[in-house]
Amino acid sequence: MSQVHFGHIFHVAGSGTVADAAASLVSIEDGALVIGDDGRIVFCGNRVDHDGALPSGADPTVFDHRPGFLLPGFVDTHIHFPQTFAGDAYGGGQLLEWLTLCIFPSESRFADPEYAERAAVEFCTRRIAAGTTAAMVFGSAFPHAQDALFATTKRAGLRIVSGRGIQTVGGDTAQPLLTSEEDAIRLTTEEIEKWHGADTGDVATALLHVAIVPRFSLSVTTETLRNLGELYDSVRERGVYFHSHLNENARPGTGEVDTTKQVYQVDSYLDTYDGKFLPGSTVGGKSLLGKRSILAHCVHCQDSELERMAETGTSIAHCPVSQQFLGSGTMPWKRTIAAGVNVAAGTDFGGGDEWLISKVLSDAFKVHISEPGDAGVSMHPAEMLFTGTLAGARALDMEDRFGNFDLGKEADFIVVEPSRHPPLDAALKYGIRSDDAQLAREQTLFVLLMGIREPAVTEVYVRGRRAELS
Ligand SMILES: [Zn+2]
């Protein structure tokens, strides 16, 4: 059914880069979003001008959210389903020890189907509460848990790209999560056949998609990487995704980056995902990079790695909340952006302890203004909004379908009602604003992005349909 929504609209229009975000910011204080029967946007503009957007005879349902806000749905490009109950895990320290002591035991509990089912419901509930309409979800090792995740996501009406976490090598606590080399490929192939595009039968219209997801290079072998390269090559054309971690913890000698380079004897960590995983970065198989590939963190990249990601269209999931929690450092914002690679936002829950992408953007602002010397930058609020919405849609290679309110796109949006979160409401009502109209609207967007909390996200729509778990 067609719909009309009234509210203060913010979005980053067009298809520019983060450098264009400020110039592409659209703010319509007394705005209307009109959605056709097919869930696509037919009008985004001033409320007084919306008449006539729908065909004559259409009888749309009208939702008046004023003085609330309408924003594009948040896109979380890195979040862990089997860590749904593992946020704020204490007693692990930094990445590798935290995985061994806290995360592997926690993820192993998903072997219990009832526990996994409970987690799937909780995970989707948290996503709706946070307004995360689309997500790249790092999956569980257990196929029954992935079935629960996809089925519950479908029931909730959310978008998802996910794949079972692949591990073929690991220590004692990782044992329940490991499979043989053969099973790693067989189970991943079965998941692709079962869930990729399963809701509509057509990848171009589906809300459900599958990714190939090795946890990281240290959790697999050269044989796994070779086999995954062959598998990915055979399913790339069907729009299957690739997802993993890269350059997260650079503790000298014993951290993730140095350990990976020692184990594989490669020049760069990225080489292990780029088919060059044999000693000396010799080619041993096919590349897993491309425009449907997302690598999380990328805090400590060499210039050559950033160049290669930009060249292949591989995106970065930037997760500053998690990077602070695990002491991983700060991804250099200006240098990374300057390399031309697309940077989107990720919560990395449970490495991160927040479900809200706006909290990730808020922490991004804080860590990047704190970078030393000339590297420090005060992110523009439009750049923050871009990173949490359109850049995410681009990272998922579905920018043509959602990410902003350009006409014809599928209507993914959230309603924010400040009155439901008094500190935000007060800051918007009584905070000072510039006499300059443009700066004033940017200040308002900044207050909004910094101040949104779950209670203020009152409605979430995917393709014009309310997302909810009944
Ligand atoms: Zn992660």
C-alpha dihedral, 140 to 143 to 149 to 150, nearest 10°: 130
CA of 214 to the centre of ligand 1 (A): 11
How far is ligand 1, taken at its centre, from the CA of residue 401, in Å? 26
Distance (Å) from CA 447 to ligand 1 centroid: 28
What is residue 210's three-state secondary structure? strand
Distance CA 368, CA 366 (A): 6
Q: What percent of the chain has pLDDT over 70?
A: 100
- pLDDT of 197-244, one tens digit each? 999 999 999 999 999 999 999 999 999 999 999 999 999 999 999 999
Separation of CA 347 and ligand 1 centre (Å): 9
Based on DSSP, count helices (H) and strands (E) in the chain, helices before strands. Answer: 16, 16
Which tens digit of pLDDT belongs to each residue from 270-293?
Answer: 999 999 999 999 999 999 999 999
Ligand 1 center to 219 CA (angstroms): 13
Cα 296 to ligand 1 centre (Å) = 6
CA of 325 from ligand 1 middle (Å) equals 12
Write out the two tokens for 401: 């379908």
245 C-alpha vs ligand 1 centroid, how far in Å? 6
Ligand 1: centre distance to CA 78 (Å): 6
Instruction: Compute the distance between CA of residue 258 and CA of residue 208 in angstroms, rounded to an integer.
Output: 36
DSSP symbol at 220: S
What is the model's pLDDT at position 460? Answer: 98
Q: What is the pLDDT of residue 150?
A: 98
Distance (Å) from CA 329 to ligand 1 centroid:
14
- Report the distance separating Cα 216 and Cα 169, nearest Å: 11
d(CA 382, ligand 1 centre) in Å: 26
How many A from CA of 299 to the centre of ligand 1?
A: 12
Q: Is the Cβ–Cβ distance between 297 and 248 less than 8 Å?
A: yes
CA of 360 to the centre of ligand 1 (A): 14
Q: Write down the pLDDT at residue 389.
A: 98
Residue carrying structure tokens 């760069």: 268
Model pLDDT for residues 74-113, shown as the tens digit of each residue: 999 999 999 999 998 998 999 999 999 999 999 999 999 9
pTM to 2 decimal places: 0.98
Cα of 350 from ligand 1 centre, angstroms: 8
| Cis amide prior to 320 (ω within 30 degrees) | no
Separation of 155 CA from ligand 1 center, angstroms? 25
pLDDT at residue 55, as a whole number: 85
Calculate how far, in angstroms, residue 436's C-alpha sits from the geometric centre of ligand 1: 41
State the distance from the centre of ligand 1 to the C-alpha of 359, rounded, in angstroms: 17
Mean pLDDT, range 144-152, rounded to an integer: 98
Name the residues around ion ligand 1, CB cutoff 5 A: 296, 348
> What is the distance in A from the centroid of ligand 1 to the CA of 79?
6
User: What does DSSP assign to residue 439?
Assistant: H
**Mean per-residue pLDDT over the chain, rounded:** 97
Q: Which of 420, 410, 429 is nearest to 453 (CA)?
A: 420
Give the CA dihedral 263, 268, 274, 280, nearest 10 degrees.
-60
Asked if pLDDT for residue 470 goes beyond 80, the answer is no
Report the pLDDT value the prediction gives residue 53, as an integer from 0 to 100: 87
Query: What spacing in Å lies between the alpha carbon of 101 and ligand 1's midpoint?
Result: 16
Q: How far is the CA of 348 from the centre of ligand 1 (A)?
A: 5
Q: 222: CA distance to ligand 1 center in Å? A: 21
Ligand 1 centroid distance, CA of 164 (Å): 13
433 Cα: distance to centroid of ligand 1 (angstroms): 38
What pLDDT digit, counting tens, does each position of 18-31 carry?
A: 999 999 999 999 99
Distance 246 CA to ligand 1 centre (A): 9
Which whole number is the average pLDDT over 421-429?
98
> If you measure from the C-alpha of residue 8 to the centroid of ligand 1, how many angstroms do you get, rounded to a whole number?
34
Ligand 1 center to residue 216 CA distance, Å?
A: 9
Sign of CA dihedral 338, 342, 347, 352: negative
